[in-house]
Structure 1
Amino acid sequence: MILVLAGTLDGRELAVRLAKTGFQVMVSVISEYGRSLAEVPGISVHIGQLAAEGMKELITANGIKTVVDASHPYAVNVSANAMAACENSGIPYIRYERAEVGLPDYEQLYMVSDASEAARLAARMGKVVFLTTGSRTLKIFKNEPQLADCRLVARVLPQADVITECIGLGFNPGDIVAIKGPFSHELNVALFKEYGTQVVITKNSGTVGGADTKISAAMELGLPLIVIGRPAMNYKNLCKTPEEVICKVFDVR
């Protein structure tokens, strides 16, 4: 049995490819929404966030022989827990990480190391900040004193718990864009215009995550674009394509 940590579209697609190759596959997702996307014939689904010990228990209970970590490029805690659980369980860990988008030569593109740095920089660039970084970093932006007099627009998944979290953090309902991506260049342009955006903040989550069209839309409108870089992580058995993952799975059996 292979456990695939698949909170992303490409992770779910990878799980299906592994199953079609002949492996027994279990997919781990965080939410019921994730389950609804991942649940396909022939693949079992585990729901819930897992710390290292919980993941080790899941590995033992289900006879997991290999873990394929296809979690989001910025979900470093998930990856750290997975590597620790695999080491403690004595099984192979394989990391699948989608490629980054090549950043263009754009004079208003600014690279930063984390959300806190992005928040402070954005405060100096405009009063309407469009956040396309997902829900996990919203608290950082809302708690940044330098952004207190700025309008923050959050684009998030249309899930009840995420919207409730946004309201709890103090976002006005009119500043919550609850819609599932990725988005076309044209839709990004339209949304940035609609909200009077003066600064865009994003992550380099790859083409699958829509980073390319966010970047191109900001460039078309001449907007400052702040890109949060991927966290540094020393992954074991790092693969950049699904084909590499499948070959590595055969290698470690």
Structure 2
Amino acid sequence: MIFTAAGTQDGREIVRRLCAAGHDVAASVVSSYGEQLLAAQKGSIGRLIINDTPLDEDGLRIFFKEHGIHVFVDATHPYAVNVSRNAMTACAAAGIPYIRYERDMTDLSYEKVHLVHSYEEAAEVSARLGSRVFLTTGSRNLERFVKAAPLSACTLIARVLPTADVIALCEELGLTPAQIIAMQGPFSREMNRAMYEKYGAEVIVTKNSGTIGGTDEKFRAAEDLGLPVVVIDRPVLSYPNLAHTFEEVEQFVDALNHAL
């Protein structure tokens, strides 16, 4: 059975392809919404089981033994470094081949891009660039911005997923309805531009999540309005095997299956 860390659109597509090719897949997600999206893959040729319980390094090793995992496909978000580190360590300990699917990055040639390497640096730079900060980095690190001293005098606008737990988190952090945009992306250039204008954005904060994550359209909309964009750079890890296309993942898996 193939373990696929599938908390992204990329991951769901990899699961779909593997199941369609007849492989048995154990897909892991971190939210009930992700589970709902993956459940639609059931009914393919290959068997699919879905795990929605967070697994640390020890949990992964136990799961590998219980389900006969023989290969690990890491298609987590580019910024989910802790998950990737745990997976690589667990796979090395269990002797299970690991491959990372890495989506392409967005070109950063826009002249008003400010590349930073941490959430703290993003807060500092954003505060210097404008007083109305439009956050498109999701909810997981929202608290870092809300509690960042440099942003204390700024108005934050948070664009987040429209789920009950995320909205509750925003409210717990003291954000008002006027500061919360609860919508599922990715968004078009026109939609981004309309939101920036409506909320009076003076600076945009994002991650380099690539085209599939909607980063290109965020940049284009910002450029239309001449807005600065603070980009939190991707973490760099040393992966034992790396793929940049779905086909490369399939070839890796097929080669291992033929070797068994």
TM-score class, shorter: over 0.9
Partner of 1:160: 164
Tell me how far 1:217 sits from its aligned partner: 0.5
Partner of 1:235: 239
Aligned equivalents of 1:55, 1:179: Cα separation in 2:
32
1:181 aligns with 2:185: yes
Partner of 2:51: 46
Partner of 2:85: 80
Superposition RMSD on alpha carbons, in Å? 1.0
Runs (4+) of structure 1 exceeding 4 A deviation are none
Tell me how far 1:115 sits from its aligned partner: 1.2
Partner of 1:225: 229
Tell me the secondary structure at the aligned position of residue 61 of structure 2.
helix
Deviations 1:93-112 (A, max 9, x none): 111011111222x3211111
Counterpart AA for 1:149: A
Aligned equivalents of 2:162, 2:66: Cα separation in 1:
33
Where in structure 2 are the equivalents of 1:142-221 lying within 5 Å?
A: 142-221=146-225
- Which ranges in structure 1 are unaligned for 5 or more consecutive residues? none
Tell me how far 1:20 sits from its aligned partner: 1.3
Aligned equivalents of 2:198, 2:131: Cα separation in 1:
15
- Which ranges in structure 2 are unaligned for 5 or more consecutive residues? none
Counterpart AA for 1:227: V
1:107 pairs with 108, 111, 133, which one? 111
Alignment TM-score, normalising by the size of structure 1: 0.97
Tell me how far 1:252 sits from its aligned partner: 2.9
Tell me how far 1:250 sits from its aligned partner: 2.0
Counterpart AA for 1:67: F
Aligned equivalents of 1:206, 1:222: Cα separation in 2:
21
Counterpart AA for 2:4: V
Tell me how far 1:188 sits from its aligned partner: 0.2
% same residue: 49
Tell me the secondary structure at the aligned position of residue 206 of structure 2.
strand
Partner of 1:34: 34
1:98 aligns with 2:103: yes
Tell me the secondary structure at the aligned position of residue 111 of structure 1.
strand
Aligned equivalents of 1:85, 1:150: Cα separation in 2:
42
Partner of 1:248: 252
Aligned equivalents of 2:149, 2:7: Cα separation in 1:
32
Partner of 1:17: 17
